[in-house]
Structure formats: structure tokens, C-alpha cells
Amino acid sequence: MHRLLCRTLAVLALCTFALAKLPAQDATENFVKSHYTKYEFRIPMRDGKRLFTSVYVPKTGAFSDAGPYPFLMDRTPYSVGPYGEDQYPMHLGPSDEFEKGGYIFVYQDVRGRWMSEGDFVEMRPHIDDKKGPQDVDDASDTHDTIDFLLKNVPGNNGKVGIWGISYPGFYTSASMIDSHPALVAASPQAPMTNLFKGDDAYHGGTFMLEANFGFYVFFKPQHNPEDPAHAQRDNFDFGTPDHYQWYLKAGSLADMEAKSLKGSNWLYNDQFQHDTYDAYWKSRDLAPHMKNVKCAVLVVGGWYDAEDLAGPYGTFYAVNKFNPETPTTLVEGPWVHGGWARGDGSHLGDAQFNAKTAEYFRANIQFPFFEHYLKGKSAGAQPKAVVFETGTNVWRSFDAWPPKAAQPKTLYFHANGKLSFDAPADAKGFDEYVSDPNHPVPFVGYTTDTVPQRYMVDDQRFASYRPDVLVYQTEPLEEDVTIAGPIAPKLKIASSGTDSDFVVKLIDVYPDDAPDVEGSGNKRILDSAPLHMGGYQQLLRGEPFRAKFRNSWEKPEALTPGKQTAIDFTMPDLFHTFRRGHRIMVQVQSTWFPLTDRNPQTFTDIPHAKPEDFVKATEQVFHQKDAASGVEVLVMP
């Protein structure tokens, strides 16, 4: 179960947690067993449902710190196994520092998952005004759990911290609302905040196809309580490692569901059938409810998080907006989804960061944060933002995010593939390409059976060679250019279709003489192909936008064929320095498959589109004085 789920949308949140919950082995088993006593509770909620909770209490004399100890909690839909008070995990807590630091660890199956009672609701909507005991949400479940722990687990110091990655990050965010007085520190990490606007389900109105389908073939409704040890293993077989071809042959989203899932998973159906920003999604946006947050908050995200890139910003900005007096810090590093929780964070794919960024975070940011608020140990005041600057590969701190010094500038498109901060002066000018949804641009240049986490820094040269991808780039930079904050494409387009997607990618192009990480080889290449960094086109940020949402997320509008229109949207933040001698590149295309679903380029009900709806379209991108296209960035002085 755990190994299979690691291939899904919540890959790192689950893998980090699941690996921590597998049966103990070797020396680690001896440490956990010899230092902690495990208790299992079925904690009653206010509506009578009981949530399964595992609690690990330090044994008397196990640590130099004799206690009393604070609670550190993780609430998850991915199972708190192994079950049984004689069964111990390999590790406890967010990192080794905690396991050896003296904490009472609490792990809970959320409502309706695994051994907990009740009904599971995807990203359960928060209820601001609870009328009675039947009005429950994840804030109330956390509140009731804390009440129980304080009264029934001896040796606690009356303080509670909570953390979680991905879905557990959402539960962490939800727990902070109307904070229990004992909840003094919370760290939502890669939290889902708004599934339609930039988190797992939809980006720019496009459905994140491969990640979502790959998740929901394993993450299914349950009949609780259900012990993972006895759960039915229904492994989905794609039958091929080439998912580009599999998804292309699968047809529309509805066809895919009918053929492959056959109505077995209403959780997945909810995702693709609600393809506009309707009441289903609005009720699940946690940001408007982030009020009365009384605990200190450490929001964590990764610049290269393929799942919940937008969620940390949504949570961070909402907490600051509604709770300006609450100590709140944003941490962003060069990490994939949950990449700060294990490994050293020194590289991703071919991109090198020349620092053990994950180790630094765990030892110097995360552990001191909880030690300070849960144990009263001294720690310097946290800045508003602690962020890793890629390109120069250094940590920096700011008293606001984005930094106050960053100023907006636009990288404009010009004729002949030129890109510069100078606005175009030509009276007329545009580039065009033919987009074919039956021959879509792949999102990676190699065969894959998943969404490889490294794709967010992968070399884009394979895409730049295609005729259905526009490429604009600067001359080699004469000085460093540092951007910090959100990225905003502003396109003037026309299409022969009645709907189209526009994918914009911001890229760092290495100099032609950039040194290779490995030997360059020669013509007698007998092993794997060598990696040449000269001219490497490193993806920094890429996002799609579905044109029918250009005026409203709720009420899509068809394009008028041939009519010029504006496509303006915002991509998640970045903190990167383009070094002297590098080039800045922007690529524009209309398919990104199978990362996103295919737009038929016909204004229609896309999930149920028929084969004849998928047609070619000619896309024009203008770069003239009265219709300038470009990408707005915030540039540091």
C-alpha cells in the first residue's frame, strides 16, 4: 500500500509518513521501543464518532530532559499504522532531532479513514458558525482530540504542536482556525489550500491529469474501520511504462473513468466533473476561514513542488491577513513536495544547489521553532520569510514576502524570438503555431510512468525543437538578474479555435561553455548518454491557463475565432538569480501532456468531449506596440 501510494499525487507527504510507520527494524527498532511506550486510543468526538489515535510517550529516564513533555501531532488520511500497542514504527516526528529530543508524539487517522469512524469528505469544508455537536470539521476534531489528550495522557506540559505535509498539511492548517488554547505552534507544510486554484486538482483551469488519475486509482473510499493489513489490494495496471501513449489512447476524462475505474471512486469523479470554480470548490477554499489563529505558524513549501506549489502562499497570506499579530514565517527552499523532510536537498535532477538545504532546514529552522514554542527554549525572532535563492544558492531572510525592494518589470516578446525588458515598438507583429490536441507537446523529454518530481527543473531543449512551441530569449546577461515573487504572463493572443490552453514556461539558459557535471564522452558512447550542461534550458516555472476562464472562473466564455484577446494570469512565486552570461527564456505552447488534460480547442464540456471535438487550432501571439505580450516579474535592485 505504502509503496504504491508513493507514486501518487501526495507522494512525499505519504512516503515520509508511511516510511515512518512501517514495522521497526534493526537498531532503530531498539531505540524507539526502548525510549517510548505506545498507547492506542479511540478518541470520542463531539458527534459521537471515534478517531483512532496512536500516542508515543517517552519512558521514565529515557531522555536527559525528564519532562513534562509537549505533544507533537500529525493528522493523516494515509494510515497511522502499524496498529497494535506492541507494534512500533521506524521513526517518530518530523526528523531525528525530535525523536531524540523528548516529545509525546500523536498520530491520528482522520475522520472516515482507516481505523477512524465517520464519513470521509475530501478536504472537508470548514464551518465558521457551528450550531451544535453535529456540525463537525477538522478544526473541531483537532480541538476535541487536544481536550482528550490533555486530560488522559499523563506527563504532558499542557502544550501542543502540530505539523503535516500535503494532505496532513491541510489538516494542520484547518487545526489552527479558532486555535485551541493549548495549541501553541503549527507548521503546515505543502498544505492544500485551494484545489481548484493552483493546488493538486486544477492549474489555470486545466485538470492535472496524470497526477490526479494516478492518485485516485489508489486513494479510494473506505468502509471504516479498515485495517491496512487486511485491506484489499486492488493495484491498477496501466500495462505500459509509456503514460503519454496510455493517456492519449484513453480518450476523454469521462471515457477514462468509465473504462478504467468503472464508477468505483466517487472521489475522483468529484475532481474532474467539477471543472469550473463552483460551490464544491469554493466551500473547500480554506483561506477565507484562517481566522482566530492564536498559535505561532511556520509555513513550509518547495520552489519545485509539483503538487501543492500554490498552497503555502495561500495559507501564509491568509494567516497574515486575518491574524496580523500572530508570529508567522514562510520558508521556501529548492525542494520537491516534502523534499525538506528527508534527504539532504543538495540537488534536484540536473540542478545543483551546492548546499544541504533540507538538513539545514530541519536542524536550524524547524527544530528550533518547535523547541521554542513547545519547550520555552531560546531562539532568535523568526523573520517573515526565510527563502533559498537559487542560481546563487544562498539562504536569505526578509521582513516581508515578496521583498519590499522588488519592483515589477516586464520581459517583452519581440520578433525573431527576442526577449527583453524593452517594450516592442513595431506597429504590427505576431508569431503563430498550430496546436494539435491529438499530437500534444509532452511535459518531459523521456518516457515515464509517473509525474517525475524532477520535471520542474528539467532541460527544455526537447520542447524548443518542436514547431508548436514558441521560444523567446534574451541576449547573454551582462549582469545578474534576481527575481523574487509571483510571475505574471500577460499575453495578447488570437486563436482559430473557440477554446485553447496557453502554457508559459520561464527558463534559465546556461552558457554554451557551462561545465558538464560528468565527462562529455565522445562518439564511442556505449553506456547512457552523457549530460551536457552547455546550453541547458532549466525550467524554473511553468503553468497552463485555459482561455475560456480569461474573464471568470465560474462562467467560462468561448473564444471568438480570429479575434485578439488578453490572457493574463499569475504563476506561483520564485526566488532565482539568472547569472551573468546566462540567458532568460520564455516558451509558449498550448499542450503539456499528460501533465494536464487535453483541451479539444472546441468550446465544449471538456470532461465529456467527443473524439471529433479535438481539432487543430492556429494560435497567434502578438508582440506589437498596441498589443505587447510578455511576462511580468518582480526584480530585485
Per-residue pLDDT reduced to its tens digit, 160-217: 999 999 999 999 999 999 999 999 999 999 999 999 999 999 999 999 999 999 999 8
pLDDT on residue 544: 98
Q: What is the pLDDT of residue 296?
A: 97
Q: Where does residue 139 fall: left (phi above 0), alpha (psi -120 to 50 degrees), or beta otherwise?
A: alpha
Contact 598, 591 (CB under 8 A): yes
- For 532-588, what is each residue's pLDDT tens digit? 999 999 999 999 999 999 999 999 999 999 999 999 999 999 999 999 999 999 999
Give the C-alpha separation, 369 to 298, whole Å. 8
Residue 8 has pLDDT above 70, yes or no: no
Residue of 233 and 456 predicted with greater confidence: 456
pLDDT at 382: 83
Q: Could you write out the DSSP letters of every residue in 302-337?
A: ETT-SSSSSHHHHHHHHHHHH-TTS-EEEEEES-ST
Which range is least confidently modeled, 11-15, 54-58, 422-426?
11-15
Coil vs helix vs strand at 416: helix
- The model's confidence at residue 263, banded by pLDDT at 50, 70 and 90, is confident
What is the pLDDT averaged over residues 22-28?
A: 41
At 48 the three-state DSSP class reads: coil
- Does position 23 have pLDDT exceeding 50, yes or no? no
pLDDT beyond 50 at 4: no
Averaged pLDDT, 251-271:
91
What span, in angstroms and rounded, lies between the C-alpha atoms of 584 and 630? 12
Helix (H) or strand (E) segment spanning residue 444: none
Residue 330 CB contacts under 8 Å (≥ 6 apart), including other chains: 299, 301, 312, 313, 316, 384, 385, 386, 387, 401
Cell numbers found for residue 11: 507522494
| Residue 83: pLDDT over 60 | yes
Distance between CA 619 and CA 531 in Å, rounded?
34
Q: Quick one: which H or E segment has residue 16?
A: helix 11-21
Closest CA to 180 of 135, 149, 223, 219: 149
**DSSP per position, 525-539:** --SSPPP--TT-EEE
pLDDT digits (tens, 9 = 90+) for 278-289: 999 999 999 999
Say what the pLDDT of residue 6 is.
Answer: 38
Tallying the residues shown for the chain, one arrives at 637
pLDDT band at 29 (very low <50, low <70, confident <90, very high): low
| Residue 330 grid cell | 514562510
- For position 379, what pLDDT does the model report? 74
SS (H, E, C) 246-272: HHHHHCCHHHHHHHHHCCCCHHHHHHH
Q: Per DSSP, what are the bridge partners of residue 619?
A: 433, 495
Residue 25 pLDDT greater than 70, yes or no: no
If DSSP codes are grouped into helix, strand and coil, which group holds residue 408?
strand
Residue pair 320/507 in contact by the 8 Å Cβ criterion: no
| Grid cell for residue 46 | 463531539
> Mind listing the pLDDT tens digit for each residue in 212-229?
999 998 898 888 888 877
Q: What percent of the chain has pLDDT over 70?
A: 93
- 108-146 pLDDT, tens per residue? 999 999 999 999 999 999 999 999 999 999 999 999 999
Confidence at 520, pLDDT banded by 50, 70, 90: low
CA distance 314 to 293: 15
- DSSP E strand boundaries for 241-349: 296-302, 328-333, 347-348
Mean pLDDT over 150-155 rounds to 96
Name the nearest CA neighbour of 507 among 573, 452, 458.
Answer: 458
Which residue do the cell numbers 501526495 mark? 10
Per-residue pLDDT, 519: 55
How remote is the C-alpha of 281 from its chain's centroid?
17
- Please provide residue 368's backbone torsions phi and psi, each rounded to the nearest 5 degrees: -60, -35
Residue 450 has pLDDT above 60, yes or no: yes
Q: What percent of the chain has a predicted confidence (pLDDT) above 90?
A: 85
Of 207, 245, 208, nearest in space to 605 by CA: 207
Backbone angles phi, psi at 565, to 5 degrees: -150, 160
153, three cell numbers? 495522557
